[in-house]
């Protein structure tokens, strides 16, 4: 996909790998929509892109831990744009952000499930009219090789909680949604794929977990950009990639019954069922 003149939204793009992807898409001539909670970081990124001679991105400030904040972001993008060629669902929190204890979103949901999964699920559905208008368009969900099966009797992990389990569950949920959403939109000219960009990139999330980085944001960013721009993946959808290569996710991702349960729960929690 040639990015000149294309509109691309990258959530969680004021830091880490999202920031790198936003810069590269701006360099490629895209109309970049950046998202984050920190206006200072956003303005620093905008200045950097402009000083490099590229068009200034548009910043959307939103807290994706809440479903109302997610809806406000979608409404703002819909208000300002009539098409969306690329949606990279990248916003997320790691297993140790703000401590290892169980945390809840403003809506009362387990925080990692809300931020890493539900916000992207809701945004993709709300932004679907813009994605259809721009077809062929692409959705890229930034997931992880770290995956844990969903216990549908305790999705919010009220018992036996650990940050690593919560993070891994949210990432598997992203992949399960990728498979389902790809099927939903396959006749609309929209592809949907998920990936593990790179292992332990040098990001704030990884460092917050006390982990020594072993990959760079440039490596992870290249894998994301491959799904955004690559001609070789133009006709591929509903897949999970490890870096540049297609791979298999946790077996639960391919359980149609589990995906149906997740879809019904997600529509209920995000208000899409009403």
161 is catalytic: no
Residues (pLDDT < 70) of the chain are 200, 202-209, 211, 213-214, 273-274
Q: Active site residue: 2, 161, 171, 254, which one?
A: 171
pLDDT tens for 23-38 read 999 999 999 999 999 9
Catalytic pick from 167, 200, 236, 254? 167
pTM for the predicted model, two decimal places: 0.95
- State the pLDDT at residue 206: 63
Give how far Cα 273 sits from Cα of 59, 66, 157, 241, Å: 30, 17, 23, 30
- Report the pLDDT value the prediction gives residue 205, as an integer from 0 to 100: 67
- Count: domains in the chain: 1
Q: Which domain holds residue 156?
A: 7-270
C-alpha distances out from residue 21 to 100, 131, 202, Å: 29, 19, 14
Q: Residue with structure tokens 């360099």?
A: 27
Exposed / middle / buried, residue 89 (Cβ in 10 Å: 0-12, 13-18, 19+): buried
Q: Does residue 141 form part of some domain?
A: yes
Task: Report pLDDT for 96.
Answer: 77
What six digits make up the tokens of 99? 């401590």
Task: List residues bridging with 195 in a β-sheet.
Answer: 142, 241
Q: Which residues, at least 6 apart from 138, have a Cβ–Cβ distance to it below 8 Å?
A: 1, 85, 86, 87, 190, 191, 192, 193, 227, 228
CATH number for 66: 3.40.50.720
With tokens 């809806």, the residue in question is 71
Write down the pLDDT at residue 216: 86
Nearest to 181 by CA among 127, 124, 255: 124
Whole-number pLDDT of residue 207: 59
Does 2 fall in a domain?
no
Residue 114 lies in a domain: yes
Report if residue 1 sits inside a domain. Answer: no
Q: How far apart are the first and last CA of the chain?
A: 36
Residue bearing tokens 């109309």:
31
Q: pLDDT tens, 67-107?
A: 999 999 999 999 999 999 999 999 999 887 777 789 999 99
Q: How does DSSP classify residue 102?
A: -
Verify whether residue 109 is a known catalytic residue.
no
């Amino acid at each position: 996909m040639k990015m000149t003149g294309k509109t691309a939204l990258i959530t969680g793009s004021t830091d880490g790998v999202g920031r790198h992807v936003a810069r590269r898409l701006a360099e490629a001539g895209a109309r970049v929509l950046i998202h984050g909670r920190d206006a200072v970081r956003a303005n620093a990124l905008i200045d950097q892109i402009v000083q490099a001679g590229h068009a200034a991105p548009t910043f959307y400030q939103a807290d994706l831990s809440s479903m109302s904040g997610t809806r406000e972001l979608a409404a703002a993008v819909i208000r300002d744009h009539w098409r969306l060629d690329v949606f990279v669902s990248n916003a997320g929190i790691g297993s140790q952000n703000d401590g290892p204890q169980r945390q809840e979103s403003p809506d009362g949901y387990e925080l990692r499930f809300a931020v890493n999964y539900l916000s992207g699920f809701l945004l993709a559905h709300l932004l679907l009219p813009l994605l259809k208008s721009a077809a062929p368009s692409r959705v890229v969900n930034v997931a992880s090789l770290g995956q844990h099966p969903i216990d549908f009797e305790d999705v919010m992990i009220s018992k036996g909680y650990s940050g690593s389990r919560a993070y891994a569950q949210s990432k598997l949920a992203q992949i399960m949604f990728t498979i389902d959403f790809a099927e939903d939109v396959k006749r609309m000219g929209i592809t949907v794929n998920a990936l593990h960009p790179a292992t332990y990139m040098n990001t704030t999330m990884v460092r917050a977990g006390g982990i020594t980085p072993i990959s760079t944001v440039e490596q992870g960013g290249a894998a994301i950009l491959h799904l955004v721009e690559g001609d070789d993946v133009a006709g591929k959808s509903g897949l999970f990639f490890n870096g540049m290569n297609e791979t298999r996710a946790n077996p639960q991702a391919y359980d149609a019954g589990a995906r149906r349960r997740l879809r019904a729960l997600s529509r209920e929690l995000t208000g899409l069922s009403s």
